[in-house]
Structure 1
Amino acid sequence: MNTSAMTRGGRTRARRAARSPVMRGAARAGLTACGVIHLLVGLPALRIAFGDRREQADRSGAVDRIAHEPFGAVLLWALGTGFAGMALWRLSESVFGSVGPDGRKATKRLSALVRCVFYGCVAYSVLSFAAGYGNQGRSSDQRSRDVTAGLLGMAAGQWIVGAAGIGIVVAGVWAGVQAVRRQFHAELRLDEMSPGARRLVDFTGVGGGAARGLVLAPAGGFAVRAALDYRPDRAKGLDDTLRSFAGTPFGPWLLALVAAGLALFGLFSFAPARWGRV
């Protein structure tokens, strides 16, 4: 019995499964779910900018708003399933590599693995809430402070929190630069778009990606500050990070601009769901 041939055959079948229509469908469902969440964060943030302080501009607030809509439970199950599909797709990319000439690079696979873990946690949170076992009451700010406090209580905790914060800052800057340079073109089938659709994708991709980077970088900076001061309360989640823009010399107009950018990123996320190389 040729065991090496059987092993190669098994790997080939696994790669085919990772590129199957089912996996592509899971990826598109996940990208659509990401678009919905970013829209449901960006729009409340706009209302905060114009004076409505009761809004909660983060994933917890978005899930809570969906739950109170007609057929909210059905929508939550669909959203959670979409995020589970995204996690499964990212897992396949970490194991077999992603589409593209450099899709099998170690850095690409590591990035896919990190995203798999993140979206897996998001899917578990949303699906648990939909099933009635989870609790979305804690905001992103509370979770950020709790996680930071736990890490600071560990040996070398300051170094861990500081390194994580620096990583988030770098990721934010990188995301913004990549968006401005239109690097997302490599992940889209541009030849299938009409000229109008391509202009819309460029507008939402550049504006939305830059806004997302502009939010990530300060969030990482707050984590670094929490590590340096040894104060977990210095850490901020998405909601508090967005509100901090209103405290700049530009006032609520900067928050409104960033919030609009996040909503644009939500719209852009539907583009790879439709034309993405998945």
Structure 2
Amino acid sequence: MEAPSALADIELPSPAAGLKAWARVGFASIGFVHLVLGGLATMAALGVRGSDTPNQQEVFQTIQHMPLGQLLLWLVAGGLLGYVAWRLAQAFFDTESKGASMQGLAVRGFYCFSGMIYGLLAYYAGKMAWYGHLPKSGEASRSAMQNLLHHPHGQTIVGLIGLVLLSASGIQLYRAWSGKFDTDVNSRPFTNVQRRLVYHMGQIGYSARGIVLGIMGYFCFLAAQHANGNEIRDTEGCFNALQAMGPQVLGIVAVGLVIYGLYMLVQARFPILRGI
């Protein structure tokens, strides 16, 4: 009689457990990126960077220049892909039990849209890690929008993109002030003071993200209305618009993004991942 193999006693992690672990790395990656982005924007508001507001490329360049920067970029890219996988699971497998009603499908569509956005960020982070540099992503995005505007129905498509961004902004602000986001963090290990602190971090962070998305959506909608791709704003353009209102306005939103980054790190450590 053969002795049982030692390998038979090894319990392999399930795909669900693997996805959950990958999603947690994704939350941490998003938190790290927002910490860098918000930090650079705060420096611009304080005049440390002159009047230069950060763009997407500078965020990844800053990460690249940190100790073990290339490794960090690969980890960020891989983590962001984990977040994308989680968002797609939410959208297509309805892990949040939103259902097939119009409202449920709209929320699931938002999950898919969010996954696509972070998929692009993962692509840029991976490209920076692989090649060591990036073209100016904001210019590439504007060029793509300009080309799209010249195609049949291009204005309609760009207008719809603007409406989606405005809707995403509204969702972020609604989540911030309705407290809906509070079901994403497991606060059981926290004290009452810690719970309140994390809750207010989420409110501030989601509000800051909602403001940035709203500005993007507004200018995107204007670009479609006027058939003018130069009116489109990337992250840097949004920060410039805020800075035009005053450095204090930019500083408030920038600090909000830093707080959002910290909140996402808390979520990575104490997540609630439903449905699988």
Instruction: Tell me if TM exceeds 0.5.
Output: yes
Which TM-score applies when normalising by structure 2? 0.86
> What's the secondary structure of 2:244's corresponding residue?
coil
Distance 2:179 2:272 in 1: 15
Structure 2 counterpart of 1:186, from 172, 183, 186: 183
Deviations 1:222-271 (A, max 9, x none): 111111222111111011111111212xx111111111111111111112
Distance 2:239 2:218 in 1: 13
2:35 corresponds to which residue? Answer: 39
Distance 1:181 1:174 in 2: 10
Distance 1:198 1:258 in 2: 23
2:198 corresponds to which residue? Answer: 201
Identity over the aligned pairs, expressed in percent?
28
- 1:176 paired to 2:173: yes
Letter in 2 for 1:82: G
Distance 1:114 1:228 in 2: 22
1:254 corresponds to which residue? Answer: 249
Q: Is the 8 A contact 2:110 2:168 kept in 1?
A: no
TM-aligned CA distance change 1:94 to 1:177, over 3 Å: closer
> What's the secondary structure of 2:54's corresponding residue?
coil
Distance 1:274 1:191 in 2: 12
Structure 2 counterpart of 1:136, from 118, 134, 137: 134
- 1:109 paired to 2:108: yes
1:156 corresponds to which residue? Answer: 153
TM-aligned CA distance change 1:181 to 1:209, over 3 Å: same
Q: 205-214 vs 117-126, which deviates more?
A: 117-126
Distance 2:202 2:232 in 1: 28
Where do 1:70-85 residues align within 5 Å?
Answer: 70-85=67-82
Count of equivalent residues: 257
Letter in 2 for 1:33: S
2:24 corresponds to which residue? Answer: 28
Deviations 1:77-132 (A, max 9, x none): 11111112112222222332224x53784344333322333323322221222122
1:68 corresponds to which residue? Answer: 65
Task: Give unpaired runs (5+ residues) of structure 1.
Answer: 1-15
Letter in 2 for 1:89: W
CA RMSD in angstroms comes to 2.1
Where do 1:240-251 residues align within 5 Å?
Answer: 240-248=237-245, 251=246
